[in-house]
Amino acid sequence: LIDHRLAREQSVAAAVADGARTTDEILDSAYEKDISAVRDLARATVVAHLEQLAVEGRVEWDGETANQQ
């Protein structure tokens, strides 16, 4: 479970590094499979990862837009 969380966090960070800025852009980049049935849950997970990455100083996140630090 922890490995999965860390892998997802890395995918989110990589999406931002690759130029994804909005939650939906990051979602589309970080998830390789079809998540249409759980998109709201996935979006909440991405936001949680962005908040954690911001606390760690790895991204800038204002609640709407992410930028690489």
On whether the CB atoms of residues 42 and 35 are closer than 8 A, the answer is: yes
Q: Is 60 strand, coil or helix?
A: strand
Per-residue pLDDT reduced to its tens digit, 21-68: 999 999 999 998 899 999 999 999 999 999 999 999 999 999 999 999
The two tokens of residue 57 are 């100083």
pLDDT at 63: 95
